[in-house]
Amino acid sequence: MTDFVYRNGRLHAEGVDLTRIAESVGTPVYVYAAGGIERRYREYADALAGTDAMVCYAMKANDNQAVLSLLRNLGAGADTVSEGEIRRALAAGFDPKKIVYSGVGKSADEMGFALSAGIGEFNVESDHEVDLLADVARQMGKRAKIAVRINPDVDPKTHAKITTGKKGNKFGIDFDQAMGVFKRAAAHPSLEPVGVASHIGSQITNLDPYRAAFSRMVDLVKALRAEGIAISVLDVGGGLGVGYTGEDPPSVADYVAVARDAAAEAGCKLVLEPGRRIVAEAGVLLTRVLFVKEGSAKTFVIVDGAMNDLIRPTLYEAHHPIVPITEPKPGTAKRRVDVVGPICESGDFFAKERELGPVGAGDILAITHAGAYGAVMASSYNARRLTPEVLVRGQQFSVVRPRPSYDELIGRDRVPDWV
């Protein structure tokens, strides 16, 4: 947790005491460290130095415009999965030619928007999508560059809900069907097949699944060239994990070395799409303790944050470290507690049976590793206002997405005259 350290007994984000942010903005609140985001992006850029490569940040991890702007300033491209994400990338100033559009369910309207924006590459995932994109491009008088996303049937040994490269997953085209889809695409004058793409999942902590998937991709590139289909791009996706529970995932340098070797063997430009690895550890969710409830079977630490703010523990059984923003004294005793929110669901929790030092009403906790798939997956369930987001650099911080008012929350609805 190098972006968040204790100084003089208080947890800081870079040079800012997190107590200042909690008091100024209120809780719950997300806090991101700009330097941490930039440093992790540079790990990829430095490892790719001298390589024909492009790093496209996977926006689904965190799509705040301030975060996007940081990465665009460093030269990143954008991996998008919807028209909304393309619009966000364009609004943040990304070069359209460095935008990749992925996803299994693109509509004709979304395709048309992406074509009109001049994005660099569509990653297509079915023969039906090939035909639809060809038709849209033909009607617009354009030619779409595409990569076909294959499903290499590789088990990344990660959570079932974030595994995307096995048979039975909805993503990609079965490896043994890929040649036929490429030939189908090559026959459309409005399409230009340029790449082979794959993404086998998220939170992967072993390089072996990548090696297996990349090997299949390289074999396909060679087979396609033998059929006269000129492939020039190897899009290997992302998914490299972080250490939520003390895991020791591979370094970015080691991961990139495996991807570089594959691209070199294929003779292709390399495209990578990291998300979580860039932003997860650069973010925390601050939440204030409301009550400590002593039950007969358990002790509950009830906080003002909830599963609508950070759904990963409920959705994925995910572990996030939780620390007090006031540094505990050495040797402070801990006890097992459940850290839960105020939502009317038993699934509303951040941690179960977690060892935590003494806390009381008013204390503030930091839920760490929350920069990815946190605010971007939040909702207003139970009519709770969306969590604000704050960006820190050095000694300064700014609110980069404010907490909406209750009037704004309720004002989104429209009551028909006939009610």
User: Distance (Å, rounded) from C-alpha 358 to C-alpha 356?
Assistant: 7
Written as six digits, the tokens of 381 are 């369930």
In the chain, the amino acid numbered 342 is P
What per-residue confidence (pLDDT) applies to 269? 97
Angstrom distances, CA of residue 103 to CA of 126, 148, 377: 10, 11, 17
Q: In the predicted model, is pLDDT for residue 260 greater than 70?
A: yes
What per-residue confidence (pLDDT) applies to 228? 94
In terms of pLDDT, which residue wins out, 166 or 61? 61
User: Distance (Å, rounded) from C-alpha 87 to C-alpha 377?
Assistant: 18
Nearest-10 crossing angle of helices 208-226, 175-186: 40
Residue 372 gets the label, from left (phi > 0), alpha (psi -120 to 50) or beta, of beta
Please give the CATH number for the structural domain made up of 103-272. Answer: 3.20.20.10
pLDDT, the chain, mean? 93
Strand partners, 284: 31
What per-residue confidence (pLDDT) applies to 165? 41
What per-residue confidence (pLDDT) applies to 176? 84
* All structural domains of the chain with their residue ranges: 4-32+280-410, 103-272
The answer to whether residues 367 and 336 touch, using CB atoms and an 8 Å cutoff, is no
User: Distance (Å, rounded) from C-alpha 394 to C-alpha 180?
Assistant: 53
The answer to whether residues 235 and 273 touch, using CB atoms and an 8 Å cutoff, is yes
What per-residue confidence (pLDDT) applies to 156? 53
Q: Are strands 283-294 and 299-303 parallel, antiparallel or unpaired?
A: antiparallel
Question: Residue 169, Cβ neighbours under 10 Å: how many?
Answer: 15
94-137: per-residue pLDDT in tens?
999 999 999 989 999 999 999 999 999 999 998 899 999 999 99
312-360: per-residue pLDDT in tens?
999 989 999 999 999 998 888 999 999 999 999 999 999 999 999 999 9
What per-residue confidence (pLDDT) applies to 173? 86
Question: Residue 17, Cβ neighbours under 10 Å: how many?
Answer: 16
User: Distance (Å, rounded) from C-alpha 105 to C-alpha 63?
Assistant: 20
Most confident of 200-204, 274-278, 328-332: 274-278
Q: In the predicted model, is pLDDT for residue 161 greater than 50?
A: no
Please state the three-class secondary structure of 277-298 as a single string.
Answer: HHHHHHEEEEEEEEEEEECCCC
C-alpha closest to that of 31 among 342, 374, 313: 374
Instruction: Assess whether 268 carries a catalytic annotation.
Output: no
User: Distance (Å, rounded) from C-alpha 205 to C-alpha 255?
Assistant: 10
pTM: 0.94
Name the band, by pLDDT with cuts 50, 70 and 90, for residue 296: confident
What is the three-class DSSP state of 255?
A: helix
C-alpha closest to that of 48 among 206, 282, 261: 261
Share of the chain above pLDDT 90, in %: 84
Question: Residue 290, Cβ neighbours under 10 Å: how many?
Answer: 15
Q: Are strands 173-174 and 121-124 parallel, antiparallel or unpaired?
A: unpaired
Name the band, by pLDDT with cuts 50, 70 and 90, for residue 166: very low
Give the single-character DSSP code of 167: B
Written as six digits, the tokens of 274 are 């990291």
Identical fold, 4-32+280-410 and 103-272: no
What per-residue confidence (pLDDT) applies to 168? 55
In the chain, the amino acid numbered 354 is R
Name the band, by pLDDT with cuts 50, 70 and 90, for residue 174: confident
Could you identify the residue written with the tokens 């990569």?
A: 147
Which one of 160, 344, 383, 415 is the catalytic residue? 344
Question: Residue 23, Cβ neighbours under 10 Å: how many?
Answer: 11
| Residues whose CB is less than 8 angstroms from the CB of residue 138 and which lie 6 or more positions away in sequence, other chains included | 188, 189, 190
User: Where does residue 265 rank: exposed (0-12), middle (13-18), buried (19+ CB within 10 A)?
Assistant: middle
Fold of 4-32+280-410: Lyase, Ornithine Decarboxylase; Chain A, domain 1 (2.40.37)
In the chain, the amino acid numbered 88 is R
Instruction: Write out the DSSP string of 201-268.
Output: BSSB--SHHHHHHHHHHHHHHHHHHHTT----EEE----B---TTS--PPPHHHHHHHHHHHHHHHT-
Our measurement of the distance from residue 255's CA atom to the centroid of its chain's CA atoms, rounded to an integer in Å, reads: 18
Angstrom distances, CA of residue 182 to CA of 132, 191, 234: 15, 10, 14
Could you identify the residue written with the tokens 């294929």?
A: 266
What per-residue confidence (pLDDT) applies to 297? 87
What is the three-class DSSP state of 252?
A: helix
In the chain, the amino acid numbered 79 is D
What value does the mean pLDDT take over residues 233-254? Answer: 91
C-alpha closest to that of 164 among 58, 39, 321: 58
In terms of pLDDT, which residue wins out, 310 or 151? 310
What per-residue confidence (pLDDT) applies to 159? 44
User: Distance (Å, rounded) from C-alpha 264 to C-alpha 401?
Assistant: 42
357-375: per-residue pLDDT in tens?
999 999 999 999 999 999 9
